[in-house]
Amino acid sequence: MPLDRKTEVNSLGFAKPPSETRVVVAMSGGVDSSVVAAKLAEEGYDVVGVTLQLYDHGAALAKKGACCAGIDIHDARRVAEDMGFPHYVLDYENIFRDAVIDEFADSYLAGATPVPCIRCNERVKFKDLLETAKDLEADCMATGHYIQRKDGENGPELHSAADPARDQSYFLFSTTPEQLDYLRFPLGHLPSKDATRDLAARYGLRVADKPDSQDICFVPDGNYAGVIEKLRPGAADPGRIVHVDGRDLGAHEGVIHYTIGQRRGLGIGGLSEPLYVVKLDVEAKQVIVGPKELLATRTVPVREVNWLGDAPFASAEEWHVAVKVRSTRPPREAVIRPLGPDTAEVELLTAEEGVAPGQACVFYETGSSRVLGGGWIWRG
C-alpha cells in the first residue's frame, strides 16, 4: 500500500518513504552506532556512514578502548560493507586538535577538570560533521547516543534515555535547538544495552560482542597527565602539597596529576585524618588538601549556558529544576538564577561534594526526563 505523503511520516519523522530519506550515520566503529546504521539500512533508508579520523590512527591501532582508532575505522567499514551502504572516512585531525585536545590540555593546566567528550559533540560531531551531512544532502544525521528526541509543543525536545544506566544526556547538554531539529537518536528508547547487542546479533554484525570504550578516545589508557605532558612539555612542574591550615605536607610532581575531590594517591601517608584535594592553586603550584566537609558546596557559578527551555533563559528571575554536576550522579533539586543571557548562579538545595571547575552542570525539568540544557562550572 503506497505511503500517504499527506498524513503518514516515516520512523525518522519525514513525510516520504524511507528509500527517499537520506540519513548520515556517525559511525565510531562500536556496537551502538553500528546498530543504528544497520537498523536504518534494514528499514530501507538511504544510509551514508561517516567515520571521523580524529587523530593518528596508525599510532593508535594497538590501543584498545579508543573510540576512533584504526581498528574502529576498520570495523565501521566492515559493517557498511555487510549492510550494503556507502561509508566514508573523514580526516578531522586538525579540527579535533584545535577544538578539543588543545582546550583539554589548557584546562588541566589551569587547574580545571575538563570533559572533552562534550566539546567533541558540540564542536566536531554536531557542528562540522553535521554540516558535512547537509553537504551530502542528507535529511538528517543519526548517532548511537543514548538520549531521546521527542516532539514537543514548541518543537523538538531533548530527553534523557529510557535506560538510566546508559543515559548520555550529561554529555549532550550543549546541543542547540537548531542541531536538535536535524539530529536523530534511534537507541534512546531502548530498555538496556543488552537490547542493543541483541539487535546487533540479529543483524549479524561482527561488532555485536565488542566491548564498550571506557576512556576518552585520545587517552585510552586513562593517563591524562601523560598526555598533557606530551602536549605541553614542562607542564608537570613540581610544587607543594599544603593543608588548608597552612601546614606543608610534602612535594608533588605537578598540579596536573590531581583533581578536586581526590583522596587516593596523594603521597602524604602517615596522617591520622583522611584528606582530600579541595583546591588547586596553579600559579602557586600548590595542591591544597583538607577534610571532606570542605568539598561540600551549594553555590555553583556557570557560564556558556545552553538553554533548551520553551521561554527565554533570562526571562525569569529563577528556574526551579534538577541538576547534575557530575555525569555519574543523579539529578538533584536546584534553583537557577540567570545573571545574563548565558551566565547563571545555580543554588543546590542539598550541598554536593567535589564540584569542580571544568565540569558541566546539566539542567533537567523537575519530575520529567526533559533536558533543559546546562552550562560549564567555571570557578571553585
Annotated binding site for ATP, which residues? Answer: 26-33, 52, 144
Give me the active site residues, please: 120, 217
At 48 the three-state DSSP class reads strand
Answer yes or no: are the C-beta atoms of 119 and 172 closer than 8 Å: no
120/26 Cα distance (integer angstroms): 13
Answer yes or no: are the C-beta atoms of 25 and 49 closer than 8 Å: yes
Helix or strand holding residue 5 (H, E): none
Return phi, psi of residue 74, to 5°. -60, -45
Annotated binding site: 26-33, 52, 144
Answer yes or no: are the C-beta atoms of 158 and 145 closer than 8 Å: no
Going 162 to 163 to 166 to 170, the CA torsion angle's sign is positive
Going 43 to 31 to 116 to 136, the CA torsion angle's sign is negative
Answer yes or no: are the C-beta atoms of 346 and 336 closer than 8 Å: yes
Answer yes or no: are the C-beta atoms of 52 and 198 closer than 8 Å: no
Helix or strand holding residue 353 (H, E): strand 343-353
Cβ-based neighbour number of residue 44 at 10 Å: 13
Express the helix, strand and coil content of the chain in percent, nearest 5 each: 30, 30, 45
As a dihedral over the C-alpha atoms of residue 374, residue 376, residue 379, residue 380, rounded to 10 degrees, the angle is: 60
**Distance from the Cα of residue 181 to its chain's centroid:** 19
Q: Which three cell numbers stand for residue 342?
A: 548565558
Return phi, psi of residue 199, to 5°. -65, -40
332/319 Cα distance (integer angstroms): 14
Residue with cell 561517516: 50
What 8-state DSSP symbol labels residue 204?
Answer: T
Q: What is the largest CA-CA distance in the chain?
A: 80
Cβ-based neighbour number of residue 377 at 10 Å: 21
